[in-house]
Structure 1
Amino acid sequence: MAMNATYPSVVHCRGLTKAFGVGSTATYALQGVDLDVRVGEILMIMGPSGCGKTTLLSVVSTLLDLDAGTCEVLGRDLARMNQIERSRFRCATMGFVFQRFNLLPGVSILDNVTVPLLIGGHSRKDAESRAVRILDELGLRDRTSASPNELSGGQQQRVAIARALVHNPKLIVCDEPTSALDQNTGQVVMETLRDRARQTDRAVIVVTHDTRIVNYADRIVRMEDGVIIGCNGAIEAEMPS
């Protein structure tokens, strides 16, 4: 597994706390969570609904502010960034696969996948060339001109994954990426994510209930009631304290 001298962890968080509401009505989604995601790994986060998995993912990916604790991503302290810096950092370094696909309904699949590249300043020609390659890799080369409402749920999920990967992000965060897929297609998706994780300075975080894909994980973190209750995997012993 690759290791980077600048940041041994793609994600390094300590004491993450996040509450919704105030005072006696506050609900704590995260209660002092420590988390490391190492270079080159797929980390899966599992646990019952409402245990804090998606909140943890949202904090790490800068979509939610934390209330207490520290979180560094790719060597950057998120608390030291303002909202504009976080947005630029997120667009440049992260890819997202959401539980709801969040595809643009009025444009083609090809145009949906080019969006991150166009936002990043790539020419349309380059953006379309890259989009076609990743769609081909995910078995959608013949659907580039289709609109999202012409695709099945599983095909829409693969488009969402193509959009997350097309700009070659260093951190890929996925919320139930295989929930709408059959087993064979889910394997294609996970193999694609694993290939990306093994590239230099990259990692993948997957929140999932799908036990069919656990063999793709390097480590599995288990959550309950806003805390991590267990962690297993081949590189657990390498985790920093």
Structure 2
Amino acid sequence: MTTLLVIAKEPRPGRVKTRLTPPYTPEEAAALAEAALADTLSAVLATPADRRVLVLDGKPGPWLPPGVEVVPQCAGGLDERLAAAFADCVGPTLLIGMDTPQVTAELLTSGADFTDCDAWFGPAEDGGFWALGLADPDPALLRGVPMSTPTTGAVQRARLTAAGLRVRDLPRLRDVDTAYDAWLVAEQVMVQGQGSRFAAEYERVGAGVRRAGVERPDVERSVVGR
């Protein structure tokens, strides 16, 4: 039984994507977060799985599509919340966040295939990770890992290998945390030709990075796989 988990916050102004403000307003940041979550859930729904679960901090809204089960996040630090999400699963499980709207069903399908490995690890540009897959979910593999640091990903991956697991890596992706990240990711999905609510919302609310005076990044070199 394969499970896909998405851990997310309710996209409510003032409590989500606060690092986007400024240059975005709290309402604009929440709109971008909602679009990122919608794109993520769309990719999840297009990926073969037995269960698709949104592990949510907050309440579901009209942005929630049919076919996704919702469970509340537990209390505690992020490591405890991730561990608890895995604890509720039986069989192969792939967990992702809501911060990578450029994710595709093809990537998730790869990360849910444990034919020749015990774990999948998706590194993030900021040193964290955007995906973690376990053939045999064990919450102990996450508890105690320091989260939201430049070495979070390295520590988490080392925890997997120290447990004797055969680990395969997914492509490195960029989380949307800052206005600069939002610019890069929005242009990446446009270059790739993906239909993206995130890219459309980015255009609708305005190019905040330009308002902030951030120099245009080299998008072509930033696209995953180049």
TM over 0.5: no
More strand, by proportion: 1
Choose between structure 1 and 2 for higher RCO, CA contacts under 8 A separated by at least 6 residues: 1
Give TM-score scaled by structure 1 length. 0.29
**Larger Rg over CA atoms:** 1
